[in-house]
Amino acid sequence: MEYLPNILFAIALIAGIGYFAKNVKKLIRNIKLGKAVDVSDHKKQRWQNMIRIALGQSKMVRRPVAGILHVIVYIGFVIINIEVLEIIIDGLFGTHRVFSSLGSFYGFLIGSFEILALLVFVAVIVFWIRRNVIKLQRFWKAEMTSWPKNDGNFILYFEMVLMALFLIMNATDIPFQNMESGNVISQFIAPWFNGASESTLHIIERLAWWLHILGILVFLNYLYFSKHLHILLAFPNTYYGKVKPKGQLNNLESVTNEVKMMMDPNADPFAAPAENDTEDVPEKFGASDVTDLSWVQLLNAYTCTECGRCTSECPANQTGKKLSPRKIMMDTRDRLEEVGKNIDANNGEFKDDGKQLLGDYISNEELWACTTCNACVEACPVSIDPLSIIVEMRRYLVMEQSAAPMELNNMMTNIENNGAPWPYNQMDRLNWKDE
Amino acid sequence: MSQSLKVPTMAEYMAEGKQPEILFWVGSAGSYDDRAKKITRAFVKLLNKANVDFAVLGTEESCTGDVAKRAGNEFLFQMQAVTNIEILNAYDVKNIVTACPHSYNTLKNEYPELGGNYNVKHHTEYIEELISSGRLKIENNSNLKGKRITFHDPCYLGRANEVYEAPRSLLKSLGVDLVEMKRNRRTALCCGAGGAQMFKEPEKGDQDINVLRTEDALKTNPNVIATGCPYCNTMMTDGVKAKEREAEVEVFDIAELIAQAENL
Check if the beta carbon of residue B251 is closer than 8 Å to that of residue B240: yes
| Interchain pair A371, B201: CB under 8 A | no
Nearest CB to A398 within list B61, B71, B105: B71
Cβ burial, residue A202 (10 Å; 0-12/13-18/19+): middle
Select from A247, A393, A426, A257 the least CA-distant residue to B82: A257
Q: Could you tell me what percent of chain A has a pLDDT over 90?
A: 87
Interchain contact, B62 vs A416, CB within 8 Å: no
**What's the whole-number mean pLDDT along residues A217-238?**
97
Residues of chain B positioned with their CB less than 8 A from the CB of A415:
63, 65, 67-68, 76, 80
pLDDT at A286 over 90: yes
Average pLDDT over residues A152-177: 96
Task: Give the model's confidence band at B3: pLDDT under 50 very low, under 70 low, under 90 confident, else very high.
Answer: low
Taking each helix axis from N to C end, the angle separating B123-132 and B165-173, rounded to the nearest 10 degrees, works out to: 50
Q: What is the least distance, in Å, from the CA of A67 to any CA of chain B?
A: 16
Helices of type H across A50-185: 64-80, 82-93, 104-132, 146-171, 174-179
Residue A328 and residue A344: Cα distance in Å, rounded?
24
Question: Does the pLDDT value for residue A278 go beyond 60?
Answer: no
Whether residues B199 and A322 touch (CB distance < 8 A) is answered with no
- A85/A81 Cα distance (integer angstroms): 7
pLDDT(B127) > 60: yes
Chain A residue at shortest CA distance from B34 = A432
Give the pLDDT confidence score for residue A282 in this predicted structure: 57
Q: Does A428 touch chain B (CB under 8 A)?
A: yes
Q: Which of B199, B210, B256 to mutate to test the interface with A (most CBs of A within 10 A)?
A: B199
Check for a shared fold between B10-132 and B148-261. Answer: yes
Start-end of H helices in A247-287:
253-263
Of B71, B78, B113, the CB nearest to A259: B78
Tell me which residue in A405, A407, A412 faces B76 most closely, judged by beta carbons: A412
pLDDT at A271: 66
Cβ separation of A251 and B110 shorter than 8 Å? yes
Of A315, A368, A426, the CB nearest to B209: A315
- Render the burial of B152-185: b for 16+ CB within 10 Å, e for the rest: bbbbbbbbbbebbebbbebbebbbbebbebeebb
B98: CB partners within 8 A, 6+ apart = B24, B25, B26, B27, B104, B107, B120, B121, B122, B123
Q: What is the pTM of this model?
A: 0.95
B82 and A CB contact within 8 Å: yes
Return d(Cα A64, Cα A264) in angstroms, integer: 56
Is B227 at the interface with chain A, CB within 8 A? no
Report the pLDDT averaged over residues A51-62.
96
**C-alpha angle B106-B111-B117 in degrees, rounded to nearest 5:** 120
Task: Check CB contact of A320 with chain B, cutoff 8 Å.
Answer: yes
Query: What does the domain layout of chain B look like in residue ranges?
Result: 10-132, 148-261
Phi-psi region of B249 (alpha: psi -120 to 50; beta: other; left: phi over 0): beta
A422–B28 CB contact, under 8 Å: yes
From chain B, the residues in CB contact with A410 under 8 A are 199
- Asked if the Cβ–Cβ distance from A375 to B187 is below 8 Å, we say yes
Q: Would you tell me which residues 93-132 of chain B have a C-beta closer than 8 angstroms to some C-beta of chain A?
A: 105, 108-110, 113-114
3-class secondary structure, A10: helix
CATH class given for the domain over B10-132? alpha beta
Best residue of B62, B75, B185 to probe chain A, by most A CBs closer than 10 Å: B75
Contact criterion met (CB < 8 Å) for A429 and B31? yes
The verdict on A411 touching B (C-beta cutoff 8 Å) is yes
Per-residue pLDDT at B1: 42
What are the structural domain ranges in chain A? 4-31+63-240, 283-424
Residue B124, CA atoms < 13 Å, CB-side half-sphere? 26
Query: In the predicted model, is pLDDT for residue A326 greater than 90?
Result: yes
Q: What is the pLDDT of residue A266?
A: 78
Residue A80's pLDDT band, with cuts at 50, 70 and 90, is confident
Helix A146-171 vs helix A104-132: angle between axes, to the nearest 10 degrees? Answer: 150
Which of A263 and B71 is assigned the larger pLDDT? B71
CA distance B75 to chain A (A): 6
d(CA B256, CA B39): 6
CB contact under 8 A, A408 and B162: no
Q: Residue A52 is inside which H or E element, if any? A: none
Query: Looking at the complex, does the CB of residue B150 fall below 8 Å from at least one CB of chain A?
Result: no
Average pLDDT score over residue span B207-220: 98
CATH code: domain B148-261 is: 3.40.50
Residue of B nearest to A394 (CA): B72
For the stretch A105-123, pLDDT in tens is 999 999 999 999 999 999 9
Average pLDDT over residues A303-330: 98
Q: Is A430 on the interface with B (CB under 8 A)?
A: yes
For the domain made up of A283-424, the CATH class stated in words is mainly alpha
Q: What DSSP string runs through B200-229?
A: SPPPS-SS-HHHHHHHHHHTT--SEEEES-
Q: What is the mean pLDDT of residues A314-322?
A: 98
Contact flag A415-B32 (C-beta cutoff 8 Å): no
Question: In sequence order, what DSSP letters do the residues of B85-144 get, joined into one string?
Answer: HHHHHHTT--EEEES-HHHHHIIIIISGGGT---EEEEHHHHHHHHHHTTSS---TT-TT
Main-chain dihedrals φ then ψ at residue A395, nearest 5 degrees: -60, -40
Mean pLDDT estimate for chain A: 94
Nearest CA in chain A to B154: A373
**β-strands B148-151, B95-98: how paired?**
unpaired
**Contact state of A421 with B63 under an 8 Å Cβ cutoff:** yes
Determine which of A318, A370, A418, A433 to mutate to test the interface with B (most B C-beta atoms within 10 Å). Answer: A433
Q: pLDDT tens digit string along B21-59?
A: 999 999 999 999 999 999 999 999 999 999 999 999 999
Average pLDDT along chain B: 96
The ipTM estimated for the assembled molecules is: 0.96
